[in-house]
Amino acid sequence: MKMHPKGILLTLLARIVASHELNENFEDGAIDNWTLGSYSTQIEFQVMDTGSGPAPQNLSIGNYYLATVKASLGASGTAILRSADFELTDGLILEFDFWGKSLYAGSSGIIVYYLNENGADAMIKSVGFSSNTSYRWWTIRVNFPTSGHFSNVQIRLSVSSEDEDAGGIDNIRFVDLSAV
């Protein structure tokens, strides 16, 4: 069944708005409150310059990224990037670039949630990371269970209490696999 041109335009617009809500303008180095909320106020997202670390430099994804920052040594918790609502059509996925390091494998990780039709959190993607991920940026692909409307989509980055544990995200985007 073909979608009406107005429906295609509205879907595309919803995707652009959602991408803007998730990315906002941190690529311009804007100072902002990037953390929507947190299970621990000890961890939050902060705009970082790719040349100043701790993540490896990757200018192909821009000059800035969102890094987790601890309030103090030994702090742990989950930073939650602001959420977005959007319509997904078949073949559309959410992608973002991710960097992280963790002393122990799986003690820190990244999880993508959305609010399901029952009003409860539903996990879509979970990735643990360890020290061997710290040398490069990785692309995370998030395949949603169905097409349709998704509410309160959140990227949550958990960081353990080990002092060197950290993570970062950049370049949140929607990719249409059916067009590839």
pLDDT on residue 8: 58
**Collapsing DSSP states into helix, strand and coil, what is residue 146?**
coil
pLDDT on residue 1: 47
- Enclosing domain of residue 99: 5-179
Domain count, the chain: 1
Give the separation between CA 5 and CA 110, rounded to whole angstroms: 36
Q: Which amino acid is at 27?
A: E
What are the tens digits of pLDDT across the range 163-179?
778 888 888 887 877 76
What are the tens digits of pLDDT across the range 88-141?
777 778 888 888 887 776 677 788 888 877 888 888 888 877 666 566 788 888
pLDDT on residue 172: 81
What are the tens digits of pLDDT across the range 82-97?
677 777 777 778 888 8
What are the tens digits of pLDDT across the range 27-76?
555 555 555 555 556 777 777 877 776 777 765 666 778 888 787 888 88
Domain CATH code at residue 93: 2.60.120.260
Cis upstream peptide for 54 (omega within 30°):
yes
